[in-house]
Structure 1
Amino acid sequence: MALPSFNWWGKGSHKGTPVVVTMENPNWSMVELEAPSESDFQTSTVTQEKARGKNAKQLTWVLLLKAHRAAGCLTSVASTLFSLGSTIRRRVISGQTDNNDSTPSTENKTVKTRFYNCIKAFLWLSLLLLGFEIAAYFKGWHFGAPKLQLQYIFTAPFGVRDLFDGLYTRWVLIRVGYLAPPLQFLANVCIILFIVQSLDRLVLCLGCFWIRFKKIKPIPKQDAIVDLEENGFFPMVLVQIPMCNEKEVYQQSIAAVCNLDWPKSKILIQVLDDSDEPTTQLLIREEVHKWQQDGARIVYRHRVIRDGYKAGNLKSGMSYSYVKEYEFVAIFDADFQPAPDFLKRTIPHFKDNEDVGLVQARWSFVNKDENLLTRLQNVNLSFHFEVEQQVNGVFINFFGFNGTAGVWRIKALEESGGWLERTTVEDMDIAVRAHLHGWKFVFLNDVECQCELPESYEAYRKQQHRWHSGPMQLFRLCLPDIIRAKISMWKKFNMIFLFFLLRKLILPFYSFTLFCIILP
């Protein structure tokens, strides 16, 4: 029995159900195929010419489909590259607009310029020497120990080698005799510091694992929760929002603080505005007035003389006579938005714990998935809160105050000397002095306060400069007080070696030495 002949492929008449394949690209022609009819399945002898015509049309149709798919891929690649270029351009533009940073700059412009010039000169020198190395590699220069003698270099006939060869030979001698020993010494020092820091991180991670395994968590006393929920006992709380030219985020922060779930008669909100722009001052003042009309107890304070930056701003807010009526003070930066139950989850930890001076909450980031920079910052800061702050808070009741999203007992601030303007790290300063006076700190890893991460490198650089420019100055000022303090030797060792030297000096030192000196 002969195979059925599908003559419907090459027929000129239109029979059966048509199947139309339409190309998305209008430059392609339409190919029309017809479904077979009943007569097409009748057995007959297939001629060689019709078979060839059918195969040719099938091949043409397949090639058209593959060409259409390839054209679609090229179009998608082009659109993807265009979108990527637009994103890069937008990131660059957003990074250039970060010069309008609201935080006052404490950088010395002359020192900054000289420092950057030194870095540029060092990088150019590194590139030049790298060029020498590449040229020597391709020319096959391999200097043995006898050829590196000073006598050989200066007595060899100079005409044998050209100027480039002579310069490279002298560079190899200088590198072996003068650069290699100190670089090797620095490399060994970095290895030792890396091992020390790794051990510190290992101990912290083991402590965090133990906290998770044992489910250790600061829990307020039951009667403190009962006083809030049933007896209605709410202590007086002062809330401070220090800001400076924060015209982008002031509305969100003021709204979040005014919506805190706390009796209106037991809370007072201070908006401490250090803005030097009249337009920004007017906008913030109008926002405060709007919330006053809604019944919130909120006041606007503006300093004409901005001494001490944030420390001076907070100090001026504590200088008013009505502050004596309040027992606690909560501090939120202008880009932080606390949850409505923030005070109800932090204030109870002070109940019947008269030695607790600070309750610190964790930060959460609303833009942590914005780009690669924010993701890396999220990893770094998550380790800081999840591991460092939590472990130190559980085992030694001391950690650095993060400057915001925390509640202080006003008595602890006053006994520790209040806010001082001697450094740019006023939050670390007050935490160290409070700990030396015997106050304990509580870190709540499950209480979060939302904020934003810097999305451009320029904003990130300025933030890191503010955070890392003052710890060593503070260490120099606090070292005599730490030695004379009436605390245990273990706490003194922890504060001097672990808190200051290891985490504030050794880590930046070996990172800078490794990536900016040894590797180049």
Structure 2
Amino acid sequence: MTETTPPGPTTDAPLTITVIIPAHNEELGLPATLRSIKSQSIPPDKIIVVDDASTDHTSDIAASYGATVLRPPQNLGSKAKAQNHALPHCDTDLILAVDADTVLAPDYIEQLRPAFDDPSVQVAAGNVQTRFTRTPWERGRSTEYLFGFHWHRPIQQLANSPMVCSGCCSMFRRTALTESGGFPERTIVEDMDFTWSQQVAGRRAVYVSDAVAWAADPETLTYLRKQVWRWMSGFMQNVRLHLPRLLTRKPMLATWVIVALLEILVAPLWWVTPLLLTTTYDEPMPRTVAWWAGAELLLTVPALLYAARRRRLPVGQVLLNLPFVYLNKAVNLYYAWKALLVELILVPLRLSKGLVIYEKGR
């Protein structure tokens, strides 16, 4: 009689996933977020909503969708701290961090999870688009996202050096989070901090273009200013913290960072170019403005047309939203320069503490 050996444990079991949703007074946006998670083609193993001192019905809504609700004893004050509050309750292989006003495509997890078949990948995120285009600020942001996620991100991914895995819908290897002390709290933007830290350590961050999520962006100038100030301050904080090591350990990522800094520095000069040409060379203002606008369109429209085709969006609507991006660019530039002054000059001189209070952008 031939003795048979029972099969050993499989080594290719699917990676398990916990979704963490930090939420503070999110009763309006949370239902759509939870519905999109519950309808995933590959459902997560656990959903945790961290109700960070909400005064509305956030907890009740989360519980009604079967999520585990955690309520800290007091307001934690930032998204990273809320996420870290949930981390000890996670025992899965992967953690998907989702903002409470972000909606995932039904195959988001299905598209993203295979990236982690590569053991060097520690964080991955997909393509973020705007959920709404009702106000000028949302329409401008939609143009920014279409351009950035169909031009900058693919190039960065080809060079194996994404600038950031978007915090509204990033997936992390749990061991990478626990070994590094959790979601970074030392800067105001935990997603960029973790993305850069992992790449400095020789690990990989990945952009997956076929994984799509829709974020609710600021619909008013008030909220846009808060969000952009946080983003720009966080970028400069990470420049101060990481750039020296990036130059030696991840030079391609350092290249993107330096290019972004140069764009901030030269942007005012580009914006006043028509005036400079008119006053310096006595060129007619209409001609210089036409030249400037033509150059702008040449640099942006081809990428937007590709993005519209890729996302099956009406080309006409995409082009109609283009003028509104300049409203957002003006806000971006103001706060980029302010953040540069505060975080890269005043903070090192100990004349400012920089931005340390987390404010929601909507």
Question: Equivalents in 1 of 2:41, 2:186: separation in Å?
Answer: 36
Residue 183 of structure 2 corresponds to residue 419 of structure 1? yes
Secondary structure of the corresponding residue to residue 88 of structure 2: coil
Q: Which residue identity lines up with residue 190 of structure 2 in the other structure?
A: E
Distance change (3 Å), C-alpha of 1:431 and 1:512: farther
1:239 shift after superposition: 0.4
State whether structure 2 residue 25 is matched by structure 1 residue 245: yes
Decide whether aligned partners of structure 1 residues 403 and 389 sit closer, same or farther in structure 2, where only a CA change above 3 A counts.
same
1:498 aligns with 2:259: yes
Residue 302 (str. 1) matches residue 71 (str. 2): yes
Instruction: Choose the corresponding residue for 1:286, options 60, 63, 79.
Output: 60
In structure 1, runs of 5+ residues without a counterpart are: 1-230, 293-297
Q: Classify 1:257/1:473 alpha carbon distance in 2 versus 1 (closer, same or farther; 3 Å).
A: same
Q: Which has the higher helix share?
A: 1
1:359 aligns with 2:124: yes
Is 2:197 the counterpart of 1:438? no
Counterpart CA distance in 2 for 1:416 and 1:512 is 42
2:123 equivalent to 1:316: no
Equivalent residues of 1:402, 1:427 under 8 A apart: yes
**Partner amino acid for 1:299?**
T
SS in 1 for 2:65: helix
TM-score by length of structure 2 reads 0.65
The one-letter amino acid paired with 1:303 is P
Amino acid in the other structure paired with 1:360: A
Q: Deviation per CA, 1:321-370, whole angstroms, max 9, x where unpaired?
A: xx2x311111111111112221111101222x1111222111122323x2
- For residues 269 and 88 of structure 2, the distance between their equivalents in structure 1, rounded to whole angstroms, comes to 42
Q: Residue deviations 1:159-180, cap 9 Å, x none?
A: xxxxxxxxxxxxxxxxxxxxxx
**Matches of 1:450 and 1:413, distance apart in 2:** 25
- Kindly provide the amino acid, as one letter, of the partner of residue 367 in structure 1: F
Cα separation, 1, equivalents of 2:15 and 2:206: 19
Taking the TM superposition and a 5 Å limit, the aligned residue runs for 1:32-111 are none
Asked whether the 8 Å contact 1:260–1:342 carries over to 2, the reply is: yes
User: Match for 2:50: what amino acid?
Assistant: L
**Higher relative contact order, structure no. (Cα contacts within 8 Å, ≥ 6 residues apart):** 2
Of the three residues 24, 27, 49, the one matched with 1:271 is 49
Deviations 1:210-255 (A, max 9, x none): xxxxxxxxxxxxxxxxxxxxx9943210101111112221111122
Aligned mates of 2:27, 2:267 — CA distance in 1: 33
* Alignment RMSD (CA, Å): 2.9
SS of equivalent residue, structure 1 residue 470? helix
Q: Which has the larger radius of gyration?
A: 1
Q: Which residue of the partner structure matches residue 112 of structure 1? A: none
Partners of 2:257 and 2:180 in 1: how far apart? 19
- Cα drift, residue 511 of structure 1: 7.9
- Structure 2 equivalent of residue 467 of structure 1: 231
Q: CA deviation at 1:379?
A: 1.2
Go from structure 1 to structure 2 and tell me whether the alpha carbon gap of 1:506 and 1:319 turns closer, same or farther (over 3 Å shift). farther
Q: Is the CA contact (8 Å cut-off) linking 1:362 and 1:385 kept in structure 2?
A: yes
Aligned length: 266
**Structure 2 portions without partners, runs of 5+:** 1-10, 274-329, 335-362
Cα 1:275/1:252, change in 2 over 3 Å: farther
Are 1:394 and 1:442, in contact at CA under 8 Å, matched by a contact in 2? no
Asked whether the equivalents of residues 244 and 274 of structure 1 are also in contact (C-alpha less than 8 Å), the reply is yes
Q: SS at the partner of 1:476?
A: helix
Who is 1:331 aligned against? 97
